[in-house]
Amino acid sequence: MRDFLKHTLATVLGLLIFLGLSVGGLLWLLISVASRDTGPQVKDKSVLVFDLSTTITDARRNSNTSDLINDVLAGEDTNSLPLKAVLQAIDQATQDKRIVGLYLYDNGGGVGGAGFATLKEVREALVRFRAAGKKIIAYDVNWREREYYLASVANQVVLNPIGSMEFNGLSSEGTFFAGALQKFGIGVQVTRVGKYKSAVEPFLLTRRSSENREQTQQLLNDLWGQFLQTTGQDRKRSAQQLQAIANSQGILEPEDALKQGLVDRLAYLDEVLADLKKLTGGDEGNQKTFRQINLKSYITATEDSSKQKRNSKNEIAVVYAEGEIVNGQGTRSSVGGDRLARQLRQLRQDDDVKAVVLRVNSPGGSVTASEVIQREVILTRKAKPVIVSMGSVAASGGYWIATYSDRIFAEPNTITGSIGVFGILPNVQELANRNGVTWDAVKTGRFADLQTISRPKTPQELAIIQKSVDQIYDQFLAKVAESRKLNKTKVAEIAQGRVWSGQKAKELGLVDELGGLEAAIREAAKRAKLGNDWRTEEYPKLRSLEERLFERLTTDNIKAQMASDPLATELKKIQSDLEVLRSMNDPRGVYVRLPINFRID
């Protein structure tokens, strides 16, 4: 104990010294700047600058100067913005006479990994901006599908003459560990229901099953079809023409991209900046660059005025469920079942809260946590309207918590469904035996060591676990049938763990309406009969610097900056896949989750 205290005190002292020496100067500098800074100002004839490398999240991140300091000290991403703030800022700029245009460019890294459903909401805001008669200019050296999905709205899409354009479709490449697990002597047994429930396949197979390939192909077709239709309308090209380009060329040289009408102009950055200077009324002599304000600064500069517009006692609570659904409290990047349930309970008991919008952007996870959250959704709905807004992914456990709401909104390219259940049962017997490790159990009951990983499960034990999985799947079907007012037999047909696009989910009755977060908020106001007398508040509230520092110092939170290294990028994908296993903490060992390595490139 004495040594423990000695090392602990030494660590704390070292931390304090480190913070004092490494951060003290930076903190002093930032505070000094902040004390003199009156905040960003919006000048007349300014262009709103939208960096496409900005990470767009669901939940709110810190935006003002003091919060930015906290982010730097806590080592968190300062280049991120919440979707709701982005939408409000673009819509405000649409009406702001000081803003004469919008400049889209990629400062590296693309659109921060945002899903297509999130990008669709941003794209629609850009369409409204352009429809108001304001000019949008988009420039990049190398256009890729995700960035181009937004850029295709622009009045002028510009490509650098030395660049290229990726237009080759969408793909989903899975990683499979079965061969490696077998090589290292790690056994995996699974229990599951639903022939499309492919989350277990990476640990059993070396390639996709036919069912998994079928559902993935259908989903990609739906998302790609929506991409072609949307971009084609603005570029005045049919979906067939665009598909022909993807099939025949894939990667277009600048002249080919211009010839095909995918870009409007080939130009260097200095030429684009010269055009922006003209747009803001500047010239070479009196202005070094164009008059501008970036999106984050514009949000900060206008947030007070936007708050004044909604000064009401009637609150619509926007609650974010973003990340893996895990048992317990969860972390910053996951949805803790107990934590979210407590949040909903507090909002249910708050008389100022007239309606709740639950924004779900989750692949699912723990079945226990999903049920805990769903129970609070049911109780909250009895007291006030509950509307669900699905983000880019709201599937399996993410769909479980969406049931029993008054209305479910999704985008056409939302990934949802995946109504199925599975359990993963690893054992390290062979690996241990190879290295001279053995076990010998003493027990008072036949199944007393059911949870051990020292050996494979017996057929009788597997039958017990499978029975539990079957019962939970049956409950899942019953919940969906009851809440969606569907025949249970029909639900069983469209379930089976299969993943659907938002568009297809609406056709199947799993979703009520196609629309984004703002549409869901308007529906909540309508059902609560608030007219225009309401305001929104977002939950969970931001954490303090101390809380974020403590989490960073007590968890393995390593973020490698290796986007430009192809090998490192692939290793990062594998690390992400394996990280999912760490979040599997359901006390019953049963999960409702999307395929573990499901990603779209």
Give the catalytic positions in this structure.
197, 396
Dist CA 391 CA 346 (whole Å): 24
Q: Are 428 and 188 in contact (CB under 8 A)?
A: no
- DSSP label at residue 445: S
Q: For 380, left (φ over 0), alpha (ψ -120 to 50), or beta?
A: alpha
Cα–Cα distance list, 12 to 6, 9, 546 (Å):
10, 5, 14
DSSP secondary structure string for all residues of 494-521:
H-TT-EEEHHHHHHHTS-SEE--HHHHH
* Burial of residue 205 (number of CB atoms within 10 Å: 0-12, 13-18, 19+): middle
Q: Is the dihedral of CA 186, 192, 195, 196 positive or negative?
A: negative
Alpha-carbon distance 174 to 199, whole Å?
11
Query: What CA–CA distances, in Å, run from 106 to 103, 269, 291?
Result: 10, 12, 19
Which long-range contacts link 271-274 to residues 24+ away (Cβ below 8 Å)? 272/137, 272/139, 272/158
Residue 547, classed as helix, strand or coil, is helix
439 vs 165, 427, 429, 442, 460, CA distance in Å? 58, 12, 9, 10, 20
The set of residues, in sequence order, having a beta carbon less than 8 Å from that of 566 and lying 6+ positions away, is none
Residues 6+ apart with CB under 8 A from 169: 145, 220, 224, 246
In the block, which residue shows the tokens 């007349």? 44
Q: Which of 471, 420, 425, 462 is nearest to 589 (CA)?
A: 425
> 10 Å Cβ neighbour count for 305?
10
Nearest to 368 by CA among 405, 337, 329: 337
What contacts 273, CB < 8 A, 6 or more positions away? 289, 290
Quick check: 90 and 66 in contact, CB under 8 A? Answer: no
Name the residue with tokens 């430009």.
564
Taking the CA atoms of the chain, what radius of gyration do you get in angstroms?
Answer: 26
Report the interhelical angle of 65-74 vs 545-554 (nearest 10°).
20
Span between the terminal Cα atoms of the chain, in Å: 52
Strands 386-395 and 353-362: parallel
Residue 266 pairs in a beta bridge with 159
- Angle, in degrees to the nearest 10, between helices 367-383 and 337-348: 0
Question: What is d(CA 136, CA 123) in angstroms, rounded to the nearest whole number?
Answer: 12
Counting beta carbons within 10 angstroms of the beta carbon of residue 278, is it exposed (0 to 12), middle (13 to 18) or buried (19 or more)? exposed
